Amino acid sequence: MPLLTVLALMALPFVEVWLMIVVGGWIGVPWTLAALVSLMILGVAVLRRTGRAFREVVQQADEAMRTGEQPRKGLLDPLMLMAGGILLVIPGFLTAAAGVLMVTPITRPALRWAFAGWAQRRMAKMQERVEEEFTARGVNVPGQDGPFGPGFTPGGPSAEPGPSTDRPARGGRVIQGRFEPDDET
């Protein structure tokens, strides 16, 4: 998949130039240049307007993190507006079409839904990979057999009726010892 993405990004300028030539043949060179310049001006206006809103959203998210609350506004809409503005500023009709899709309020909820679905699938794949890697290395995967691993007793080892050293081997080295506090007062 990354190779396909790299090839698509390498082909994009050639496709954009070809599309500009085709559109220039249909409507004429002056109108094509006027369309490209007007799309760039629209992109700059979107970026200026979004910059202020993005700063406010980031400040609110920062304040919510400091207080330990959930942020009221999401960051996805301002990010989509900024990406759409950047795509509008880049000269070309394909990038402008993608930018208009991101900037238009009607299409943004559909893009948000698609991105959320993609992000959930991606996170699930990453979690599966991490769990497989942990399992392959013999490490207890969080969430399996309780949050603290197999054989965990809530009261600690002293709450067990039997010897506290009967624990399953997990790999690694265990050093037996005891703790003696300093009596410096």
pLDDT tens per residue across span 27-73: 999 999 999 999 999 999 998 888 877 788 888 878 877 887 766 66
Mean pLDDT of 121-146: 76
pLDDT tens column, 14-31: 999 999 999 999 999 999
- Could you give the 3-state DSSP secondary structure of residue 21? helix
Indicate whether 173 pLDDT > 90: no
Nearest CA to 88 among 77, 105, 103?
103
User: Cα 151 from chain centroid?
Assistant: 36
- List the one residue out of 120, 121, 139, 117 whose CA is nearest residue 130: 139
User: Cβ distance 43 to 88 under 8 Å?
Assistant: yes
Instruction: Tell me the CA distances in angstroms from 113 to 22, 59, 76, 108, one per residue in order.
Output: 34, 25, 11, 9
Tokens in use for 83? 């990406």
Contact between 137 and 170 under an 8 Å Cβ cutoff? The reply is no
The pLDDT assigned to 35 comes to: 92
The 10 Å Cβ neighbour count of residue 71 is: 14
**Looking at 92-96, 126-130, 144-148, 173-177, which range is the least confident one?**
144-148
146-162 confidence digits (pLDDT tens) = 445 555 555 455 444 44
d(CA 166, CA 176): 13
Residue 168: partners with Cβ closer than 8 Å, 6 or more residues away:
150, 151
| Threshold 0.75, pTM exceeds | no
